[in-house]
Copies of this chain bind each other. A is one copy, B any other.
């Protein structure tokens, strides 16, 4: 019982009391130095984003590299379809970087399925040394963090990162199989069907025209007591707040130093909660803050709070955001993917949903200073 009591210590007492004052610092927000700085300038030299039909019809649809018309991609199962989509994204990113698969030294990837099936089975086919990472929908920034450290630390020259998610496989695993036809509550989000990959490479003459990863912040697992498997925005917002607060207090950058501050898949509700939480801590997020979950679907697509899943922010990052970094429209962005670390088993056993948010700061090759 002591353990149980301990576990909820991250929940600040004044969370739901409507108090508009700045919150006292809850225990979870430690003053430890958390920022990783990459002085050897790892670059993102290749990328690919593959999405399903629904995502291609959304507001950022035209930026994605490839749209799959059929959610099953002609495979027998949705799981096989996800593997194939993942494979397409990975090989596409390698091609985009003008490399061969044999030039890749390490592959860092993850996905939402149990035992990371998609990523492990796809990696088997690709045959590159593999590091499996998992932090739910925050996996893209986790893998970018690990990859950047591996390149920046001088261990490898070319590291591949990839994630995927699929609406049908995620619904079956976390909620109900689609065939049951269950109703979705108005605060639910829609798991993005898609896969995205990036190639991180050492800084050199050939790669200096590509965007660089300058910092990363590994997230702390935060839990404010949400226990509804459908309401993930609320579960993840506190984690995003923690990482974002660390960013603004430890990096030396303020809100206005970024052309865009992007969270992963908080959705409409979650990003409103985040704005509110940040305001209470004295930081006002302006027009340059967006949430990928909030922008990936149109309002008339019936996705309620917006998109979610590993691929939600990963596909938007590897298309829309990277394009604007490459052409210099964005000088510096902060990308904070957010993950809800729930498992159906633990929720059945009465547990709440912890959230995590890893961040990376990416700068355009054209300035950023």
On A, residues with C-beta under 8 Å from B are: 3, 6-7, 9-10, 27-28, 30, 32-34, 36, 75-77, 79-80, 83-84, 87, 102, 105-106, 110, 113-117, 120-121, 123-125, 127-136, 142, 145-146, 149-150, 152-156, 173, 217-223, 341-346, 349, 351, 354, 356
- Expressed in whole angstroms, the Cα–Cα distance for A83 and B343 within the complex equals 14
State the 6 A-B residue pairs at the shortest beta-carbon distance, nearest first. Answer: A153-B153, A115-B343, A129-B218, A124-B221, A120-B341, A114-B114
Find A131's partner among B80, B121, B218 (CB 8 Å cutoff): B218
Question: In the bound complex, do residue B34 and residue A129 qualify as a contact, i.e. CB atoms below 8 Å apart?
Answer: yes
Residues on B with C-beta less than 8 A from A341 are: 115-116, 120, 124, 132
Residues on B with C-beta less than 8 A from A128 are: 32, 220
Question: In the bound complex, do residue A132 and residue B125 qualify as a contact, i.e. CB atoms below 8 Å apart?
Answer: no
- Expressed in whole angstroms, the Cα–Cα distance for A32 and B343 within the complex equals 37
Question: In the bound complex, do residue A342 and residue B3 qualify as a contact, i.e. CB atoms below 8 Å apart?
Answer: no
Find A115's partner among B10, B149, B342 (CB 8 Å cutoff): B342
Between A and B, 9 residue pairs with Cβ closer than 8 Å are A3-B83, A3-B84, A32-B102, A113-B343, A120-B354, A121-B351, A133-B134, A146-B146, A153-B155
- Expressed in whole angstroms, the Cα–Cα distance for A239 and B84 within the complex equals 23
Question: In the bound complex, do residue B134 and residue A142 qualify as a contact, i.e. CB atoms below 8 Å apart?
Answer: no
- Expressed in whole angstroms, the Cα–Cα distance for A152 and B149 within the complex equals 10
Find A134's partner among B110, B124, B154 (CB 8 Å cutoff): B110
- Expressed in whole angstroms, the Cα–Cα distance for A217 and B84 within the complex equals 27
Residues on B with C-beta less than 8 A from A129 are: 32, 34, 217-220
Given A150-B149, A354-B124: A116 in contact with B134 (beta carbons within 8 A): yes
- Expressed in whole angstroms, the Cα–Cα distance for A346 and B124 within the complex equals 14
Question: In the bound complex, do residue B343 and residue A117 qualify as a contact, i.e. CB atoms below 8 Å apart?
Answer: yes
Given A80-B3, A150-B149: A28 in contact with B120 (beta carbons within 8 A): no
Residues on B with C-beta less than 8 A from A9 are: 125, 127
Question: In the bound complex, do residue A356 and residue B153 qualify as a contact, i.e. CB atoms below 8 Å apart?
Answer: no
- Expressed in whole angstroms, the Cα–Cα distance for A27 and B106 within the complex equals 17
Question: In the bound complex, do residue B6 and residue A356 qualify as a contact, i.e. CB atoms below 8 Å apart?
Answer: no
Find A221's partner among B30, B105, B120 (CB 8 Å cutoff): B120
* Residue in A80, A129, A222 whose Cβ sees the most chain B Cβ within 10 Å: A129
Residues on B with C-beta less than 8 A from A116 are: 134, 341
Find A136's partner among B115, B127, B218, B345 (CB 8 Å cutoff): B115
Residue of B nearest to A29 (CB): B127
- Expressed in whole angstroms, the Cα–Cα distance for A129 and B216 within the complex equals 12
Question: In the bound complex, do residue B345 and residue A113 qualify as a contact, i.e. CB atoms below 8 Å apart?
Answer: yes
Question: In the bound complex, do residue A155 and residue B10 qualify as a contact, i.e. CB atoms below 8 Å apart?
Answer: no
Question: In the bound complex, do residue B343 and residue A221 qualify as a contact, i.e. CB atoms below 8 Å apart?
Answer: no
